[in-house]
């Protein structure tokens, strides 16, 4: 499990006040009682922590804890690709 996946699990467990051990990557957000407000809060927290932006359209596609981690990873990759493009343009 990656550090990013572990962080997503920790944040969801803390938000829902449940044991970290009860949150798995394949758990659905619905099964963890993560509602739409929780999703927004979680995404804002992760965006702030990692300095990325998760597109709103992507938020609606997230169904599992793994999907949350993948969305952040994709946003990080996009950010890094943009930084590489900016550096080569300079």
Domain interval for residue 39: 3-81
Write the pLDDT tens digit of every residue in 43-86.
999 999 999 999 888 888 999 999 999 999 999 999 888 877 65
The CATH number given to whatever domain includes residue 74 is 1.10.1200.10
How many domains does the structure of the chain reveal? 1
In a domain, 88, yes or no: no
In a domain, 47, yes or no: yes
* Cβ atoms of residues 52 and 75 within 8 Å: yes
Q: What is the largest CA-CA distance in the chain?
A: 48
Could you tell me where the beta strands, DSSP code E, fall in the chain?
none
For residue 6, the tally of other CB atoms under 10 A from its CB is 13
Write the pLDDT tens digit of every residue in 3-43.
999 999 999 999 999 999 999 999 999 999 999 899 999 99
Per-residue confidence (pLDDT) for residue 56, from 0 to 100: 86
In a domain, 90, yes or no: no
Per-residue confidence (pLDDT) for residue 82, from 0 to 100: 82
Q: What angle do CA 34, 17, 42 make, to 5 degrees?
A: 45
| Helices 65-89, 36-50: inter-axial angle, 10-degree rounding | 30
């Amino acid at each position: 499990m990656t550090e990013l996946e572990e962080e997503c699990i920790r944040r969801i467990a803390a938000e829902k006040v449940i044991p970290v051990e009860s949150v798995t990557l394949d758990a659905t957000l619905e099964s963890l009682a993560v509602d739409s407000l929780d999703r927004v809060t979680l995404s804002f927290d992760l965006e702030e922590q990692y300095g990325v932006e998760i597109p709103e359209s992507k938020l609606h596609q997230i169904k599992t804890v793994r999907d949350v981690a993948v969305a952040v990873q994709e946003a990080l990759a996009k950010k890094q690709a943009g930084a590489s493009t900016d550096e080569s343009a300079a």
